[in-house]
Structure formats: C-alpha cells, structure tokens
C-alpha cells in the first residue's frame, strides 16, 4: 500500500474525504468501547476461581513455622509466601517482605518514607532543596503520579529497544546528588513491552551514584506475564547484579500477583538487600502490626510453587494472546502499511504502545472518544502528562472481548488514518 507520505496532495485529499465519510458513519453507530484499561478480562479472572476453595472452615490456618495465621503476628510475611515471591523474582526469602494487596502502595510507602525519614540514615528528602527522579518514557502513569504528588522533579529519559538510554541515566545519576531514584519496569515495560537487555541491567548495577541514597525502583510488574510459551524474555537479576557490582543497597524490586490472581485481592512483595529490609522493617513495625497472612497462605496453597504460577500464566496467555495478535495484525495492515504509525509487538505485559505521527496523539484520542472508543489519555505515559511529541497512545487489549476489541481497533485505525492524512495535507 502507498505510504501517506508519498501521496500527492490530490491523493491525500481524496483519502481524507473517504475517511471523513467513514468516520461520520462510525459516529452514527453509537459505539461504547474501551481500550484504555490495563485490567484482566473476566475470563482471565475465572481461571483463579479455584483459589477460593483452597481454604475453608476445616483448614488448619497455620504457617509452616507454627504461627496461627488467624491471629496477630509476623510483620514481614509468612515464610512460605516469602519463599514463593522470592522464587518469582529470583531472590532469597530473607530479602523479601510480603505485604498486602498492592505493590503500588509499597512504592508509595517507600517514597513517603524517604521523604519523611530518609533511607538507611540518610537525610529525609523533604529537607533537601531539590529531589529529582529519572523517568524512562513512555512509562507508567501511576509511578509518575506518586513522584509528582511528593513534589519530586521528574526528568524524562527516552526509552530505547534495550531499556532506558543508559548514557543519559549514567550522566544524571553519577553526577547529580539530587537525583535520588529512577522508575523502571524492566520486563515487558509499561506501555512499550520493552525488555531491558543484559547490558542495560549491568550498567544499572554499575552506576556510581552521586547520592548515597539513590535507589532504582525496579517494578517487575510483568515478571511472569509472558504472551508466548516458546518465546519468553528473561532479564538479569538486578539484586544479584547490584550486589556483585558493590551496590547491594541500590535497588528495591517490586512484584505482585495483581494480574496473576485477582487485582485488589492478591499479594504484593518487595525484594531488597538485608540493610534495606532492616531499614524498612524498622519503620514498618510502627506503621502496622502485619499484613493479611491468610491471603498469603491462600496464594501459597493455590500455586504451591513458582512453577504453579508459571503454568497459570500460560493459561492467561492463551486468552489474551489472540487479542494482542488481532490488534497487531490490524495495525500492520491498516497503519504500518501506510507509514503512519509504529509500535513493537510485545512478548508479554499488558500493553501495545502506539506511536503516531508527531502532533497527532491528542487528536486521535479525542476523535476516538467522539466515536465512542475510549483510549488512555494522550500524554498519560509521561511525567506531568506531557508527551513532548504528542505521539504516544497506550493500547490496552486485555479487558474487552475479542469482538469488542476488533471493533474498537477498527475505529482506531480509521481515526489514525484520518488524523494523519489531515496533518500531512496541512504540511503539503
């Protein structure tokens, strides 16, 4: 198919006329579709329903260490849940804390703790004139919302196909003591699906931060969220790499079962060095008596071990893979073939990150909305919701049914073509 960029003024005008007619027809259909939400579909959730049976009134609700899990006690997670979550990220149980239902809340608490109390004896960030965070972009809007809330200055770091631009990361981290952290989703990044290369992970581990309390916030949200059985990304173990590089305390790793079992009713965990774990527990013991140990036990009994989780995730992959592939194929045929958009087909995670022609994202999202198709707000994957190129649109294929998704993706394709043709015509 001819790329729009290669079309003459006349050809583009003709194309635009046709697209405007088509768009008008779509609007008349009164659609109500949604590709905005990074949520599992009901059929994915159905897969975990048996977890509701593993504990009942006949169960002995005791930990393997003898603790009655119905009562107070155990601040940092039951031993068997620490083992399970440690195996998920390849850490040791003694480097884990298993919390409640939300890894986002763990991250918030870590930032809050740094602001008020400081990490490991360092000056609380709230007492410093300036605190900065590096934000690989596009990234996860809720990460940026936390740092924005605390008034932390966010600096965009462009993503490459191997992870964040490490030259830039090294430049900032190794020279500026006000740079205190970086948000990372190292595997199947949100929203691009980028997998950090071994070199990227090693360069992270080898950072020589100007700030003693610089921390990598390593949100391994999609650690077991593969789309394919035979093509699964693996990344290096950041805790081990940091330790070997002489930076054992430089990283907090986060994970959860939110998109494994039930979002909101799963378990979440943090992995870190002994010194960091001790520092956190020192504060945590003031904050709470402990987390929901029965739900931790429920997850352990259901999965038995990390292999149980992996097998479960393959069942989920079978459900969502067709959704991803359908969108990818449609984008390929309708958009890529016309030279008006880019993306990388992810091997896992929850999103496709579509890159429209510059200056088109906001209009595409607005016109989709007008036609009854909700997309994540343009700009969302950037600090302060500002996409410097106004080009990135996050597509979330998991939640709608395949049929709804197909309809929504078709509308999306028409709108992308329409907005792109208009833009290119205006530039002629």
Interface residues with its own copies (CB under 8 A) are 37, 39-40, 42, 45, 48-53, 55-57, 59, 61, 68-74, 100-102, 104-105, 108, 112, 115-117, 126, 142, 145-146, 149-150, 258, 262-265, 283, 286-295
Measured on CA atoms in the order 406, 410, 412, 416, is the torsion positive or negative? positive
CB 45, min distance to its own copies, A: 4
- Rama region for 121: left / alpha / beta (φ>0; ψ in -120 to 50; rest): left
3-class DSSP state of 399: coil
Asked whether the beta carbons of 35 and 392 are under 8 A apart, the reply is no
Short-list 101, 72, 97, CA closest to 86: 97
CB 100, min distance to its own copies, A: 5
Short-list 43, 121, 394, 410, CA closest to 282: 121
CB 293, min distance to its own copies, A: 5
262, two tokens: 């039930």
Omega before 93 cis (within 30°)? no
CB 294, min distance to its own copies, A: 4
CB 101, min distance to its own copies, A: 5
**CB nearer to its own copies: pick between 102 and 178:** 102
Query: What is d(CA 354, CA 344) in angstroms, rounded to the nearest whole number?
Result: 8
Asked whether the beta carbons of 157 and 167 are under 8 A apart, the reply is no
User: Which residue is associated with the tokens 């907090």?
Assistant: 252
**CB nearer to its own copies: pick between 145 and 402:** 145
Query: What is d(CA 299, CA 305) in angstroms, rounded to the nearest whole number?
Result: 10
CB 422, min distance to its own copies, A: 35
């Amino acid at each position: 198919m001819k790329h729009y960029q290669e079309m003459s003024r006349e050809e583009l005008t003709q194309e635009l006329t046709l697209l405007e007619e088509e768009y008008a027809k779509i609007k008349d259909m009164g659609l109500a579709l949604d590709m905005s939400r990074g949520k599992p579909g009901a059929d994915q959730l159905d897969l975990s329903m048996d977890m509701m049976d593993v504990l009942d009134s006949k169960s002995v609700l005791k930990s393997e260490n003898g603790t009655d899990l119905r009562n107070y006690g155990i601040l940092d997670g039951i031993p068997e849940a620490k083992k399970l979550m440690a195996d998920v990220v390849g850490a040791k149980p003694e480097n884990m804390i298993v919390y409640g239902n939300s890894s986002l809340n763990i991250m918030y608490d870590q930032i809050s703790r740094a602001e008020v109390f400081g990490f490991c004896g360092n000056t609380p960030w709230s007492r410093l004139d300036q605190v900065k965070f590096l934000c690989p972009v596009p990234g996860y809007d809720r990460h940026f919302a936390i740092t924005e809330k605390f008034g932390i200055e966010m600096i965009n770091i462009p993503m490459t196909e191997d992870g964040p631009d490490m030259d830039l990361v090294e430049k900032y981290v190794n020279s500026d003591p006000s740079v205190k952290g970086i948000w990372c989703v190292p595997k199947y990044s949100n929203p691009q699906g980028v997998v950090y290369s071994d070199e990227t992970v090693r360069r992270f581990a080898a950072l020589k931060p100007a700030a003693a309390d610089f921390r990598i916030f390593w949100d391994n949200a999609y650690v077991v969220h593969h789309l394919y059985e035979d093509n699964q990304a693996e990344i290096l173990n950041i805790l081990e790499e940091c330790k070997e590089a002489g930076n054992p305390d430089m990283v907090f790793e986060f994970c959860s079962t939110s998109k494994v079992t039930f979002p909101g009713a799963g378990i979440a965990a943090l992995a870190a060095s002994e010194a960091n774990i001790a520092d956190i527990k020192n504060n945590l013991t003031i904050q709470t008596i402990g987390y929901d140990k029965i739900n931790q036990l429920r997850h352990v009994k259901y999965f038995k071990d990390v292999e149980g989780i992996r097998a479960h995730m393959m069942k989920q992959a079978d459900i969502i893979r067709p959704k991803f592939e359908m969108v990818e194929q449609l984008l390929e045929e309708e958009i890529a073939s016309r030279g008006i958009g880019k993306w990388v087909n992810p091997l896992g995670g929850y999103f496709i990150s579509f890159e429209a022609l510059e200056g088109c994202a906001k209009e595409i999202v607005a016109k989709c909305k007008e036609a009854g198709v909700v997309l994540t707000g343009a700009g969302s994957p950037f600090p302060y919701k500002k996409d410097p190129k106004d080009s990135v649109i996050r597509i979330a294929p998991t939640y709608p049914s395949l049929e709804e998704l197909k309809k929504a993706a078709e509308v999306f394709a028409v709108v992308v073509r329409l907005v792109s043709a208009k833009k290119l015509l205006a530039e002629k």
